[in-house]
Structure 1
Amino acid sequence: ATGQPIATVLQATPATYDRVVQRAVERFQVWQTVPAPKRGQLVRDLGAALRAVKEPLGELIALEMGKIKVEGWGEVQEMIDICDFAVGLSRQLYGITTHSERPGHRMYEQWHPLGVVGIITAFNFPTAVWSWNAAIAAVCGDAMVWKPASTVPLCAIAVQHVANRVCADFQAEGSDGLFNLVVGPGATIGERMLNDPRVPLVSFTGSVRMGRWAAEAIARRLGRAILELGGNNGIIVSEDANLDLAVRAILFGAVGTAGQRCTTTRRIIMHRSIAPELTGRLVRAYGQVRLGNPLEDGVVMGPLVTEEAVEVMMAALEAIRAQGGEILTGGRRRPELGPCFVEPTIVRPELGPCFVEPTIV
C-alpha cells in the first residue's frame, strides 16, 4: 500500500533451478509408487495445516498483494477446499475395462503419473492457483516445481514452509521434496521451465499475450500446457432485470481485488431502457467504495499491485478518452493513500479497441 519494500528475497539462478528440478525428478520416482489413497492422506494433512494458518496467511496475502484481508482469507479457504476435493479424487483414479476382440481376454486402462509438474502463478492469486494444481498433482503421483510471480514471493515462501512441514511429518517415502519452489524472474527461470524437457506439464497463469508465448514454447518440445489466462468479462442486464441484484453483482465482480482478476467484470451491456437508472445507481455505488489499507476493517478496495499497474490503468483511461469515451466516475489517483491507489472507475466507451481488449497489468 505504501510502495515501500517489506522484504528482500534471494533470486534463483539457472543453476539453482536445475538442481531443484533434478531433485523433483528423483522424488517423483519414489512418490509415484505410493498408493493413491496414501498420497491423498498427505494432501489431507496439507489442507489441515493450511486451515491452522488461514488467518495469518490470508493477512500476508493482503499485505504483499494488496487485496483486502477478507479476500486473503477467502483465498486460503480455496486452498483448503481444493485439498478436500483432491483427497476424494485419491480414491477415484479409475480406468475403464473393455472387451477384447480375442476370446477370453479383456483390456483395462490404467493412468500413470506424468512426472514433474511446473506451476507458474500470477500475482493476483498468489497462493490459491498453486494449490489448485499442486493438490491434484500430488494425489496423481507427480512432483512439483513452483515459480510464483516476482511481485509476491513472500506468500509463496510461506506456503512452501507449510508444505515442507507437512511432508517432513508424513510417513511415506518420496514425500520429502515433493513440493519445490524457485523464486526468480520470468525471463530466466520461467522461460527455462517452459523449455525444460524434464517438466512434461506446465500450468501457466497470466495474460493472453504471455499465455500464447508460453504455449508455443511448451508445444515446440511436445510438452503439455494448462493455461489460465486473462478475460474481458461482460454482464448483460436485460430490460426486466432486478436492478438491486444487478448493482450488487456488478460491484462485487468489478471492484474485488481492485479489478485485477481474470474473472473481473469489465463490461456492462444493458438494455437502453434501463441504462440511465442503472448507470446512475452504479455511479452512486462506486462513490461509496472505501479505499484504504487492505488490512483495515471496513476497507472495500486496496491498491493496485505495483506503480507500473497504475501507469497501465492511466494509459488505458487516456486511450478511452482518445477514442471518444467518457469517464463517468473515478479514475483519479489517490496519492494521500499511497502511490498505487486509484479510484474505481466507470467509463462509457465508444465501440473500439478499448471495449474489446482487456487492460493487461
Structure 2
Amino acid sequence: AVGTAGQRCTSTRRIIAHRSVAATLADRLVQAYAQVSIGDPLADGTLMGPLVVPDAVEEMMQAIEQARADGGELLCGGRRRPDLGPQFVEPAIIRMPAQTEIVKRETFAPVLYLLEYEEFSEALRLHNEVPQGLSSAIFTESVRAAEEFLSPRGSDCGIANVNIGTSGAEIGGAFGGEKETGGGRESGSDAWKAYMRRQTNTVNWSNALPLAQGITFGS
C-alpha cells in the first residue's frame, strides 16, 4: 500500500482482518506508517515518493473524503505534504464499516482500507466482490484456510499468495489477472507462447488408415 506510493497495479488496497485481531492489527499498522520516510525517491532511506501527477493527489483526497462520508474512520495520514514538494502526500489508513463502492475502486494512491470479518466465507466474499482480479494474498497459520484460498472456491485473482504480500512477482511465475484486470498471462511458464504458434499433429505409423466416425470401406 506504501511501496511506489500505492501506484502499482498489485499494490495492497484492502486488508480484511478477523474481528478478534482487527484492532491490534490497526494499531500496529498505524505505528508502522509513522515510520515511513517520505521524500526524494532517489535518496537513501526514502520509502515513499510523490504521486505521479496532480490529478492523482486530487483523486486520493476525493477517495478519502468519500470513505469518511461512508462512515470510514481515518486512522492516520491522508494529508498533502507541499513542504516536501509537489504531489507529496502522507499514506492513509481508513477503517471502514463495510465494503462501499469507494473501497472497490482502484485509486492508485497510498490508501489502505481496513475491513473486518467473522467467518472465513465472509472474508472470501468480500475479497472477490470487486471488479479487479490481479493479485491477492492471505496471511494465516491454517493450512486449511490457505488451501481454500488457493482453490477454485477461494481467490479469483490471477496471482494468489500465502504469507507474502501482493506486490513482487516471482520471475518464474506467470503474471496476469482476471475480471477487469484480465487479459492473459505473460512471463513465467507462458513466456514462450508469444514467440511460437501451436500446431496439432496426429501421426499414424500403422498399416491401417483409421477414418473418423467409424467409417469403413469394403475390401
Query: If each structure's helix is expressed as a fraction of its own residues, which one has the higher value?
Result: 1
TM-score, normalised on structure 1?
A: 0.29
TM-score, normalised on structure 2?
A: 0.48
